[in-house]
Structure 1
């Protein structure tokens, strides 16, 4: 739930937000996170919000193909950034990489809630970056795409098989169940367990 401090900071950040003025350096973003962590600095959060909000909205839209869900992802991600800025370690990752990882964790939660509605899930929902190997994809998103493919190898064979068929081969859960010769409920259970396992691994990386 949003705290008064977060709500006020978000309001201030929205007033300051201007994508054309958000071309800040990685060092500045790291400094802003440090100010948020140490003093809950609303101006610093405003700069972080201005830089990441439009990028996270685009990232969320690629994931869900839905503007409302994309905006929800922006809010949940930046709320987490506000609350957990003290966990950022500049020695381990760039600010953008850390923030996109937070966004990925949030998207796993959202996708698990949607897992019971396979008609709303597309192949790009879980691995939206895996098929986007072009110069147009920001380097942070390319890194996350590499991580997504590597994560598949961490799953048990049965879970990896259903994830690949549904989210890589773009099959429905029903088609996957028929192809594998297992009940639909088993496919849904494996999807849920796989998403939980992947999210747990991402949490351990943070």
Structure 2
């Protein structure tokens, strides 16, 4: 034997193992044996490809690396769900990556909406300001805002008033109204979107 190959095979071409089959075997080893070395092989092969995909889709290195980490963490945890008969390792892993990307984008959008909700803070707070300190034009605007604010649905108005006029935190409002924090955030976003729309209509 030479390097572990029987002499009769010396002149026979050695075909490299099909990559998809190889990765499938590694994932199977992760699923059945929690084999860290097999997972390392899968990680080393797919991580650069996932990073490239994430950079193209999201254009941000930090988000790309977060997607890679979350995807490969899912691969480790859900390896038992992989079925080679239903698809290749690449298809399975990139499906996980796309789902995580959608979740990340939704969270980013929600974050942006929460940040944008601060845009109306000065406008709403001005309702409590001394009217003698503002001009006639500003008074008209504040009167319009007050009128529009009253036009909000009662549940949305209660949440916005508690947060932006009474100065309570969203958690405090949730506790006060005995509703989930997510509901408070949702009502706040809907109310502010409605107010912005009404302001645009009144311009």
TM-score by length of 1: 0.46
Where relative contact order (Cα < 8 A, 6+ residues apart) is larger, the structure is 1
Look at both structures and tell me which one has the larger radius of gyration over its CA atoms: 2
